[in-house]
Structure 1
């Protein structure tokens, strides 16, 4: 295995770890609120038992500024709406928005430090590679966190924004910031 493959592999693993810890932290901070929510109760009443972990997934994407597309098929009251529950709920803290950038920056920093990156040019190659691990989990999460209620109602993270914003933009930007910080710290 050559040095570049190792660097990209380390960064990809850091991306996987960042996504997993993001979910775990947001789960820990929000699960009591989610379990008490009307949305979870409705989803469970219509057959999606234990929907709370999926609703937490929505909040993970909402923390990346990815909306949740909710469709309600009820005459006179139905429709489709894009919602960011973190922004629209008084019971959820805006601190959730800080978790993905902080963990992705840490992932970039860790990847740079583990690979002994000391030059900014190398950091600019390693940092964006955090997306190699983060993107597949963002795509998988956008699909896995879908909730169906009845035949035509439900919700899920908005797929295109989940892929582009959460899966590519966030890890590339913050992974790079972390890698550059790691290179600067190593060079001192």
Structure 2
């Protein structure tokens, strides 16, 4: 394996680790609120017995500005709505918005350090490679965090936004920022 390949594999691994750690931190900071929510109670009573970890997944994506599409199939009351629970709930901390960018920046910094990048041009190639590990998990997560309640009700992260915003834009921007910072701080 050549040096470039090793650098991209390390960046991809850093991206995957950033995704997992971000979910774990969001879980730790939101699970008590999610477990106590009416939405979780309904989901667990009428559909998915273990919905809480999936609904934390919604919060995780909401922290990256990916909305959750919630569909309620009840005559006269039903409909579909796009929701960001972090933005719309006083019980969830806005600190959740900081977690994915901070960990992706750290992943980019780590990728630059592993690569030994000393020039910004190199950082601009290595940093975005964090996406190689983050994007597949974003796609899997968006699909895995779907909750069904009854025949036509349920919710899940918006797949297109999860792929484009959380899966591509976030890791490219923050991975690159981290790699550039790693390069700038490399001589210190």
TM-score, length basis structure 2: 0.99
1:168 partnered with 2:168 = yes
1:46 partnered with 2:31 = no
Deviations 1:17-67 (A, max 9, x none): 000000000000000000000011001011311110000000000000000
Cα RMSD over matched residues?
Answer: 0.6
Aligned to 2:104: 104
1:156 partnered with 2:160 = no
8 Å Cα contact 1:70/1:154 also seen in 2: yes
User: Following superposition of structure 1 onto structure 2, how do residues 19-168 of structure 1 map, counting pairs within 5 Å?
Assistant: 19-168=19-168
Q: State the 4+ residue runs in structure 1 displaced beyond 4 angstroms.
A: none
What stretches of structure 1 of length at least 5 have no aligned partner? none
Q: Counterpart of 1:71 in 2: which secondary structure? A: strand
Q: How many residues are treated as equivalent by the alignment?
A: 188
8 Å Cα contact 1:23/1:60 also seen in 2: yes
Q: Counterpart of 2:64 in 1: which secondary structure? A: coil
Alpha-carbon distance in structure 2 between the residues aligned to 1:149 and 1:177: 41
**CA displacement at 1:187 relative to structure 2:** 3.4
Aligned to 2:8: 8
Alpha-carbon distance in structure 2 between the residues aligned to 1:141 and 1:149: 19
8 Å Cα contact 1:119/1:187 also seen in 2: no
Alpha-carbon distance in structure 1 between the residues aligned to 2:131 and 2:114: 17
TM-score, length basis structure 1: 0.99
What stretches of structure 2 of length at least 5 have no aligned partner? none
